[in-house]
Structure 1
Amino acid sequence: MTFESTYRIEGMTCAACVASVDSIISKVGDVEHVRVNLALEKAVVRWKVGAVENHLAVEEAVNRGGFFASSMPTPQQIREERISAVRQQGWKAGLALALAIPTLIVSMFISDLGSSNGMNSNWLIAFLLSLPVYLYLGQQFHVGAWKALRGGRANMDVLIHLGTTTAFAWSALVVFEPMLSFLPSIFATTRHVYFDGSALIIAFVLLGNYLEGKAKLQATDAVFSLMDLQPKTANVLDDNENTTKTPVGEIEPDTLILVNTGQTIPLDG
């Protein structure tokens, strides 16, 4: 007889992540089939007939792939965690935008503020404004990218990391070129920096994550509302056709239950 296990999978951001998790778990011994759900952040694993459930092997394989697998928490725990995550995503997105927009303004629209130690003051201010966005607020993308690359795959984090790092590193070398005499002459003749692009990319992705988190929270609340409609007990029929009210969670498969006219069906199977 086959049986299934459910795992919570954290770190998935797109369809490519779903495919990666599916492929990773499918390679674990004795796994027959895998269903991965991005919105619910879970994977349902069907084991082969006679197999022994191996939680540790699944969790280790998923963790090596750059994600995080754990046993499925209760619905209430999931809701509380999502509320906390949405709040964190909200202030991160707000702070990133609060720093990225001035970076854009000082880089593109404010007239020349002169120089400091040979360095363009506008560019230096843009560097200081975008530095916390790149290093702190964008840390999750950089870490996620390296985990993905170590696992031999590419995801959205890799694209964000490559784009923002290239823009930020190039611009930083242009700003500090007067202090780094060993740099090629191209850095001295360049007239553009891209701190604003690096900061805005991170800010907009964080904003998108925040909006996605709010949508997931609303979906979770809708699921809870439907769950509240499910009866908590069922009328179990014994061999003498007598009924006993029994909590739904205690009813075994193949048990006969009585559903009266107009009553909500408490469970199936």
Structure 2
Amino acid sequence: MRVDVVSLFPEFVAQVAGHGVVGRAQERGLLSIHGWNPRDFATGNYRRVDERPFGGGPGMVMLIDPLRDCIQAAREADPAPATVIYLSPQGERLTQAKVRELAGRDRVILLCGRYEGVDERLVAAEVDEELSIGDYVLSGGELAAAVLIDAVARLQAGALNDSESAAQDSFEPADDAGSLLLDCPHFTRPVEHELGTVPAVLMSGNHADIARWRRQQALGRTWLRRPDLVDPSTLSKADRQLLDAFLAESASDPSST
């Protein structure tokens, strides 16, 4: 997968993307990231990329021409068709389902705004999609681009050392009905610690019991923390029993959650 990033600070995204899973995906040839600075396409002595907004008000707006030329250069750098995505608070909320869809594409161009944003005429002419990573405002789109790149990189086949890791993450479909559950709790050594003891079932060696416990914990956590993700009418009889048992235990021992 190829990702082109149009940003006034392309080195920021490159630095973030050079570590961990994203860095490994690049080393393995699963992902390539290319930065493009619209200032390189600006004209005049000062190479301006922004101007004050018409109608008054605070801040600056990014100019059309440097961005348009920069996007065009990014398009021409590879023959594969590219979707231009503008990271914007006005965009569609980024979800794991959207990440899976993006991860299956061959190429995307990420447009990172700054200041008060981008001239709307450029958005209308060049942008195919707008995406938001949440209901808050950042200083620029670079952090959002880094988040999106990390999310799609880990879904590239071979990026993770264990192929099951991504499938078991929060917000991944947890059954044939497409239920989206939060992840279950995880534990590692030591077994005994001043902060508590590892649940005995995880050391039992009984894979069926462990799977049942993890499913119950995922159901219970999702019910308590993100009830909007759980529709009781879609749960199987077995899942309803697991959830009922979890809630009954939680009511009798609040510390168990």
TM-score (norm 1): 0.22
Structure exhibiting the larger radius of gyration computed from Cα positions: 1
- Write 1 or 2 for the structure with the bigger share of helix: 1
